[in-house]
């Protein structure tokens, strides 16, 4: 689709290739709404001493990369199952909140605090502000409402809603059987709805105002992703070894778009990416893609997207050229020779003459054979060196404009002389000539091959030998 914008070393450790050695794995990633903060979770499975780290990264405008701000060892007593930022205005650091859920049956709220130590290297850092739980159930998922006033946390088969200011429990929803796998709030006109998917194949929609179940559908939903710019929610199901896409609004139980057999792989993640400019053309079937584009990531690390236009129409001329350039391998040797060398005309300062340049060195067959022939089939140096040296010689074909004009005049004079000689020969043939005289004339003439070789020698410029 595009190019890699940023690569960030999260673990910051040397990777050691050794059989049976447990490596540190990056298991969770979350970005804030404006992309200013990044939260990562890394784990390393060990029987005696497991490792678990939560890292908070701040985006530095000068370096155009993320810098590590806070490292928290063992933020939970067990694996972290989910985390999310509160989607609010990040101009004030007090409004930014991070919530993590873990298998240790609690969710934790992390806020930024200001360091009062004048010798501190950084002014802000992160610390835990609140710890919540519900009947000692494992916390599995979390998400904030659109305005950030409510926090939804799922504890196995129960969805709980909390006030994000006082952290008081507001209400709970339960739809047995099964544990809640995904959870999200509706947006815009559908912000009063809470949607959840269970691992027993049910998609549920609860009304936050009436605290009741609005509707449910029997679907094995793996991914649940709301569009930040509309009321639409994308749900990806897995059934009969194929993934299918359902797009719906929480206030309407009937889907507005269905794509069966989307792919044969399991889709693990989905994301709506806002468009730079809304699409104006397209059928009513794809109106939900007008402001955002939907991307999927499969379990085979394949990135997919939905589009209403063919590939050739979506790629501009500049992006096509960029794709071609990026597909070419770049090596130090190719940079040394130059990717592209164009023939150009330049003015000779000393003589003020227009010089006709020779072809580029890399266009020479000798150079191509020397550089591109595999080493195990390359001819001997005694065979290649003479050809290579000849390709470096300056041919007399590279002459100034005046020399070219002189040659044209010489050629015309030569043509006149040849025509005179032909007339003389014709007159001589008409005369009574002895066979011995004809034989003498024939012995003085050169063959066509000899004349060709002689012309080649005359064209070569051996003036460089005088330097030795």
What is the value of pTM for the model shown? 0.64
Q: Is the dihedral angle over the CA atoms 323, 324, 326, 327 positive or is it negative?
A: positive
- Decide if 104 contacts 78 (C-beta within 8 A): yes
Per-residue pLDDT reduced to its tens digit, 405-462: 555 455 555 555 555 555 554 444 444 444 444 444 445 567 777 888 888 777 777 6
Q: How confident is the model at residue 64 (pLDDT cuts 50, 70, 90)?
A: confident
The residues spanned by each domain of the chain are: 1-12+22-174, 359-393
Q: Can you give the pLDDT at residue 233?
A: 95
> In this structure, are residues 400 and 351 in contact, taking their beta carbons and an 8 Å threshold?
yes
Residue 150, burial from CB neighbour count under 10 angstroms (0-12, 13-18, 19+): buried
> Average pLDDT, whole number, for the chain?
77
SS3 112: strand
- Cα 219 versus chain centre, distance: 33
- Give the separation between CA 246 and CA 288, rounded to whole angstroms: 12
β-pairing verdict for 252-263 and 65-73: unpaired
d(CA 82, CA 173): 19
Q: Does residue 404 or residue 107 have the better pLDDT?
A: 107
Q: Which residues pair with 272 in a beta bridge?
A: 294
Who wins on pLDDT, 113 or 446?
113
CA distance to 6, 69, 108, 127, 323, per residue, from 97 (Å): 25, 15, 10, 10, 39
End-to-end CA distance of the chain: 58
The values of phi and psi at residue 203, to 5°, are -110, 120
pLDDT for 285: 80
What 88-92 contacts at long range (C-beta under 8 Å, 24+ apart), as own/partner pairs, is 88/33, 88/147, 88/148, 90/32, 90/33, 90/34, 90/36, 90/37
φ, ψ of residue 249 to 5 degrees: the values are: -110, 140
Q: Is 318 helix (H, G, I), strand (E, B) or coil?
A: helix
Q: Which CATH superfamily is domain 1-12+22-174 in?
A: YVTN repeat-like/Quinoprotein amine dehydrogenase (2.130.10.10)
Please compute, for residue 171, the number of CA atoms within 13 A of its CA located in the half-sphere on the CB side: 12
| pLDDT tens digits for range 188-214 | 999 999 999 998 889 999 999 999 999
Could you tell me whether strands 193-198 and 180-185 are parallel, antiparallel, or unpaired per DSSP bridges?
antiparallel
pLDDT at 226: 94
pLDDT exceeds 50 at position 69: yes
CA–CA dist 59, 310 (Å, integer): 36
Q: Which two tokens mark 175? A: 């739809």
pLDDT band at residue 102 using 50, 70 and 90 as cut-offs: very high
Output the pLDDT for position 196: 94
Please give the angle made by the CA atoms of 448, 449 and 454, to the nearest 5 degrees: 95
The pLDDT assigned to 143 comes to 95
pLDDT tens-digit readout, 116-158? 776 767 778 899 999 999 999 999 999 999 999 999 999 999 9
Give the DSSP H/E element, type plus range, for residue 314. Answer: helix 311-314
Q: Are 193 and 207 in contact (CB under 8 A)?
A: yes
pLDDT tens figures, 347-367? 444 444 434 444 444 456 667
Collapsed DSSP state (helix, strand, coil) of residue 61: coil
Q: What is the pLDDT of residues 264-299, one digit of tens each?
A: 899 999 999 888 888 776 677 888 888 898 999 998
The interaxial angle of helices 381-392 and 365-372, nearest 10 deg, is 140
Q: What are phi and psi of 393, to 5 degrees?
A: -70, 145
């Amino acid at each position: 689709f595009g190019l890699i914008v940023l690569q960030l070393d999260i673990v910051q450790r040397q990777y050691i290739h050794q059989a049976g050695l447990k490596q540190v794995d990056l298991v969770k990633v979350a970005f804030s709404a404006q992309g200013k903060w990044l939260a990562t979770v890394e784990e390393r499975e060990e029987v005696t001493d497991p490792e678990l780290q939560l890292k908070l990264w701040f985006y530095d405008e000068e370096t155009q990369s993320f810098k590590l701000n806070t490292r928290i060892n063992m933020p939970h007593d067990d694996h972290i199952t989910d985390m999310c930022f509160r989607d609010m205005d990040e101009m004030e650091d007090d409004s930014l909140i991070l919530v993590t859920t873990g298998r240790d049956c609690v969710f934790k709220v992390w806020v930024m605090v200001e360091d009062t130590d004048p010798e501190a290297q950084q002014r802000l850092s992160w610390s835990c502000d609140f710890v919540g739980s519900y009947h000692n159930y494992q916390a599995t998922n979390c998400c904030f409402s659109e305005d950030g006033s409510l926090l939804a946390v799922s504890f196995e088969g129960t969805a709980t809603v909390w006030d994000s200011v006082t952290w008081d429990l507001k209400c709970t929803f339960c739809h047995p059987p099964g544990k809640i796998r995904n959870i999200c709030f509706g947006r815009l006109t559908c912000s009063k709805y809470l949607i959840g998917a269970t691992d027993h194949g049910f998609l549920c929609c609860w009304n936050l105002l009436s605290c009741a179940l609005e509707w449910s559908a029997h679907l094995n939903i793996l991914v649940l992703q709301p569009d930040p710019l509309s009321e639409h929610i994308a749900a990806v199901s897995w059934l009969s070894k194929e993934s299918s896409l359902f797009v719906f609004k929480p206030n309407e139980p009937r889907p507005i778009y269905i794509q069966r057999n989307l792919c044969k792989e399991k889709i693990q993640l989905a994301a709506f990416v806002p468009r730079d400019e809304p699409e104006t053309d397209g059928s009513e079937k794809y109106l939900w893609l007008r402001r955002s584009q939907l991307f999927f990531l499969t379990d085979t690390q394949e990135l997919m997207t939905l589009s209403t236009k063919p590939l050739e129409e979506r790629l501009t001329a500049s992006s096509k050229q960029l794709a071609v350039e990026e597909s070419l391998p770049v090596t130090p040797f190719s940079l040394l020779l130059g990717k592209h060398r164009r023939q150009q005309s330049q003015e000779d300062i000393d003589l003020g003459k227009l010089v006709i340049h020779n072809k580029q060195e890399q266009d020479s067959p000798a150079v191509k054979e020397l550089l591109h022939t595999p080493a195990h089939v390359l001819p001997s140096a005694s065979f290649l060196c003479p050809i290579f040296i000849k390709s470096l010689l300056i041919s007399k074909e590279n002459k100034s404009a005046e020399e070219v004009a002189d040659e044209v005049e010489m050629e015309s004079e030569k043509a006149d002389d040849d025509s005179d000689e032909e007339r003389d020969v014709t007159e001589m043939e008409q005369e009574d000539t002895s066979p011995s005289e004809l034989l003498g004339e024939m012995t003085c003439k050169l063959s066509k091959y000899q004349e060709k070789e002689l012309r080649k020698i005359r064209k070569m410029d051996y003036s460089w030998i005088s330097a030795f």
